[in-house]
Amino acid sequence: MKVSDIIMGPIIAGIGILAIVAASMQPKPFFGTGYGGGFFPSIIGYALVVAGGLLLVNGWRQRDVQPLVVMGSWVRSPTHMANAAVVLGVLVFYILFSNFLGFVIAGFVVVFATLLQFTRSPVRSLILAGVTTLVVKFAFQDMLLVPLPWGLLEPYAGVLSWR
Amino acid sequence: MEVIYAAFLALMSPDVLLVILLSSIFGLFVGAIPGLTATMAVALLVPVTFFMPPLPAIAAIVSVSAMAIFAGDIPSALLRIPGTPSSAAYTDAAYRLTMRGKGELVLGACVVTSAVGGLVGAIFLMFFAPAVARFALNISSYEYFWLVCLGLTSAAFIAPGSTLKGMISLLLGLLVAMIGLFPVTGQPRFAFGSTALYGGVGLVATLIGMFAIAEILRFALSRDPLPPMATTKIGNIFKGLMPELWRSRRNLASGIVVGTVTGPLPGAGADIAAWISYALARKTTRNREEFDKGSLEGIVAAGGANNASVSTSYVPATVLGIPGDSMTAIVIGVLFMKGLTPGPQIFENQPTLIYGIFLSFILANLLMIPLGYTAIKLSRYLLDVPRSYLMPVILLFCVVGAFAMDNTLVAIVTMLVFGVVGWFMEENGFPIAPALLGIVLGRMLEETFLTSMIKAQGDFLQLFSRPIAGTIGVITILIWLSPLIMMVVKRVRRRGAVA
């Protein structure tokens, strides 16, 4: 998805303005140099406003050859749009439900759903998702002692641990 | 010498050797698969290194980066797709030679020149870095401030594509670095009331997002099928190689020199070293026509250059704590996570560790010949691994990797956000590396500035008061003004031409 500089310029400048406003809300320095927490962010903010302005000028110069928005060829393919939606969707799913479901179940869903979408092969997806989840669980939870959430499987934590 | 011997012994312990071997295999695998970059390999490895002592952790990153940069040559020669961006300079030449039945020769040249380039770079690093460190011990916050400025400026200016977009990428990275507690007063800044953001945005989650999730998204949306392999049968890659390399010895030497010199320059990574040395080989060739049809001269020069620059890029990273590219930025992040502050003092405080890191380069480059040979032999299977199966598996590694650093779901949210941002930036020609350097160096930039201002009692001109600081300061400002100067020069010339 290519967005013209005519649109990107004001977005960048807008981020700069937000940075300047937020920097101005920082408390003023009460000792030392006179350079407080807002000093650097405001410089970055001003630089972003200038850079955004230059980008806008660039975009305006190329307005005849550069359309405002060019979507990738994926936009005409429901499969590819679904691919990206599944990748983003499983990540949101994991963020929302991993504490409740636990890593093993949520992680399995993440891999299985993505594999199924990418390969359309339910049996292989099921096997590979199972193996991947177990390998990752063993490596990170049992070997590296990362406290991955148990969730629904909490009562079976003792049985499912290798340590 | 005693320190080097102690470092050698530390490196030779079985657990460190095992880590180097496994991470080398991982690096070869990731580097050889098109679409998975060397930086992605390093980003995916960081959560695992978090649980290791410092030496194996950095040795793992060293091995992965060296191997992945070489392994990028395999799909270049066989599929005409560079495995990593640093192979892009000679992809066409390598593929053309493969199509003419010289695939074995090309791959043999790639593995040998990569190893030789990496080794020379590592030796340069071992002898040059301590000298720079001795010099760096005398520099103050003024010089540090300007060095960081110069590093960031070069990163933005040298980045591929538009300079303006490189600058914007850098500024956005710096803005992200401002999130967290203000170092002087400890007041929260841009944290939006979330205590999770008081410590700043997680570097590893950001890395994984920008380099791995963005790549998975790109794969998910890509409609380009992989081209068929140029050759499926690879015989003895060393057959007839030595006479060919001897014929191109000047190119190899100049490539290694270019790589060695380019590596420590801020902002210039392995990709730029490869492009410069390839262009140099083209300029100095006796038969330009033959060169353009695909010749070993350019491949030898650029293959040696990119690995040499990987080694020497550790000079500013270890001596000054200033990364030159995205991979050394990650190394600095890992050193900080281990409670080690990269800088000249590290040579006095942790000599065994630092020489261990340097020696690991030599070991990794020596290992490159047998492991690289095996990878080339297995390339048929390696390149056949379907990405549609690989990407979902990597996705789960990303989730767990991001979580493992802080044990919080905020890291996964960060990863997701930066994944989408990274994908969008790349789609629109904003380079990622300056943003990453901005995130890593933003705090250092602000802290060195504030320290300098406290010392100078707020007098900005004091930043130019010392000779080295003043010189670097003027150079940096000249680089900032260079687009303006170029514009004025162009106008004057145009007017002259009209008159």
Tell me which residue in B164, B399, B400 faces A55 most closely, judged by beta carbons. B164
Q: How far is CA B278 from the centre of its chain?
A: 19
Whether the CB of A6 is below 8 Å from some CB of chain B: the reply is: no
Whether the CB of B15 is below 8 Å from some CB of chain A: the reply is: no
Rounded distance between C-alpha atoms, residue B496 and residue B186, angstroms: 57
- Closest by Cα among B43, B103, B38, B114 to B76: B103
Are A37 and B184 a contacting pair at CB < 8 A? yes
**How far B484 CA lies from chain A's nearest CA (Å)?**
12
B213: chain A residues, CB-CB within 8 Å: 87, 91
The pTM of this model reads 0.87
Statement to judge: residues A125 and A60 lie in one domain = no
Statement to judge: residues A12 and A84 lie in one domain = no
Q: Structure tokens of B479?
A: 């680089």
Q: Which amino acid does the sequence have at A155?
A: P
Question: Measured between alpha carbons, how far is residue A5 from residues A1, A25, B229, B404 in Å?
Answer: 13, 30, 38, 38
Model ipTM value: 0.94
Tell me which residue in A77, A90, A118 faces B223 most closely, judged by beta carbons. A77
Rounded distance between C-alpha atoms, residue B445 and residue B434, angstroms: 14
A98: chain B residues, CB-CB within 8 Å: 409
Are B332 and B321 a contacting pair, CB within 8 Å?
A: yes
Angle between helices B214-221 and B409-427 (to 10 degrees): 50
Searching chain A, which residue's CA lies closest to the CA of residue B405? A146
Radius of gyration of chain A (CA): 24
Are B70 and B374 a contacting pair, CB within 8 Å?
A: no
Tell me which residue in B165, B189, B391 faces A26 most closely, judged by beta carbons. B189
Are A8 and B428 a contacting pair at CB < 8 A? yes
Q: Structure tokens of A91?
A: 């990540």
Q: Structure tokens of B187?
A: 């007041």
Statement to judge: residues A52 and A117 lie in one domain = no
Last residue of a domain, one of A71, A93, A110: A71
Are A95 and B416 a contacting pair at CB < 8 A? yes
Statement to judge: residues A83 and A163 lie in one domain = yes
For A163, the domain range is 74-163
Q: What is the largest CA-CA distance in chain A?
A: 67
Are A37 and B445 a contacting pair at CB < 8 A? no
Tell me which residue in A35, A51, A110 faces B399 most closely, judged by beta carbons. A110
The burial class, CB within 10 Å (0-12 / 13-18 / 19+), for B478 is exposed
Statement to judge: residues A58 and A105 lie in one domain = no
Statement to judge: residues A96 and A130 lie in one domain = yes
Statement to judge: residues A64 and A79 lie in one domain = no
* Count: domains in chain A: 2
Rounded distance between C-alpha atoms, residue B492 and residue B494, angstroms: 5
Statement to judge: residues A92 and A140 lie in one domain = yes
Question: Measured between alpha carbons, how far is residue B260 from residues B5, B121, B136, B253 in Å?
Answer: 25, 6, 20, 10
Whether the CB of A129 is below 8 Å from some CB of chain B: the reply is: yes
Are B220 and A80 a contacting pair at CB < 8 A? yes
| Chain B contacts in chain A segment 38-97 (CB below 8 A) | 40-41, 44-45, 47-48, 51-52, 54-55, 58, 72-74, 77, 80-81, 83-84, 86-88, 90-92, 94-95
| Torsion sign across C-alpha atoms B382, B386, B388, B389 | negative
**How far A31 CA lies from chain B's nearest CA (Å)?**
10
Last residue of a domain, one of A15, A40, A71: A71
Statement to judge: residues A110 and A43 lie in one domain = no
Last residue of a domain, one of A71, A96, A130: A71
3-state secondary structure chain B: CHHHHHHHHHHCCHHHHHHHHHHHHHHHHHHHCCCCCHHHHHHHHHHHHCCCCHHHHHHHHHHHHHHHHHHCHHHHHHHCCCCCHHHHHHHHHHHHHHHHHHHHHHHHHHHHHHHHHHHHHHHHHHHHHHHHHHHHCCCCHHHHHHHHHHHHHHHHHHCCCCHHHHHHHHHHHHHHHCCEECCCCCCEECCCCCHHHCCCCCHHHHHHHHHHHHHHHHHHHCCCCCCCCCCCCCCCCCCCHHHHHHHCHHHHHHHHHHHHHHCCCCCCCHHHHHHHHHHHHHHHCCCHHHHHHHCHHHHHHHHHHHHHHHHHCHHHHHHCCCCCCHHHHHHHHHHHHCCCCCCCCHHHHCHHHHHHHHHHHHHHHHHHHHHHHHHHHCHHHHHHCCHHHHHHHHHHHHHHHHHHHHCCHHHHHHHHHHHHHHHHHHHCCCCCHHHHHHHHHHHHHHHHHHHHHHHCCCCHHHHHCCHHHHHHHHHHHHHHHHHHHHHHHHHHHHHHHHC
Statement to judge: residues A64 and A111 lie in one domain = no
Using the CB atoms, write b or e for B315-338: b if 16+ within 10 Å.
Answer: bbbbbbbbbbbbbbbbbbbbbebb
Searching chain B, which residue's CA lies closest to the CA of residue A27? B187
Statement to judge: residues A157 and A84 lie in one domain = yes
A77: chain B residues, CB-CB within 8 Å: 223
Searching chain B, which residue's CA lies closest to the CA of residue A111? B392
Statement to judge: residues A78 and A145 lie in one domain = yes
A123: chain B residues, CB-CB within 8 Å: none
- pLDDT by 10s per residue, chain B, length 499: 788 888 889 889 999 999 999 999 999 998 888 777 888 888 889 888 888 898 999 899 999 988 998 898 898 888 888 877 788 888 888 888 888 888 888 999 999 999 999 999 999 988 888 888 888 888 888 988 998 898 888 878 877 778 899 999 999 999 999 999 887 778 888 888 888 888 889 888 998 899 899 989 999 998 877 777 776 677 888 888 888 889 888 999 999 999 998 888 776 778 888 888 988 888 888 888 888 888 888 899 999 998 999 899 988 888 888 887 788 888 888 888 888 888 888 888 888 888 998 999 999 999 999 999 999 988 878 888 888 999 999 999 999 989 987 788 999 999 999 999 999 999 999 988 889 888 888 888 898 888 888 888 878 888 888 888 899 899 989 988 888 888 888 888 888 877 6
Q: Are strands B180-181 and B188-189 parallel, antiparallel or unpaired?
A: antiparallel
**A·B CB contacts under 8 A:** 164
Are B450 and A33 a contacting pair at CB < 8 A? yes
Tell me which residue in A32, A37, A44 faces B174 most closely, judged by beta carbons. A44
Rounded distance between C-alpha atoms, residue A65 and residue A60, angstroms: 10
pLDDT tens digits along A43-95: 999 999 999 999 999 999 988 888 888 888 888 889 999 999 999 999 999 99
CB atoms within 10 A of CB B34: 21
Whether the CB of B450 is below 8 Å from some CB of chain A: the reply is: yes
Are B416 and A91 a contacting pair at CB < 8 A? yes
Best to test chain B binding among A31, A120, A135, A140 (most B CBs inside 10 Å): A140
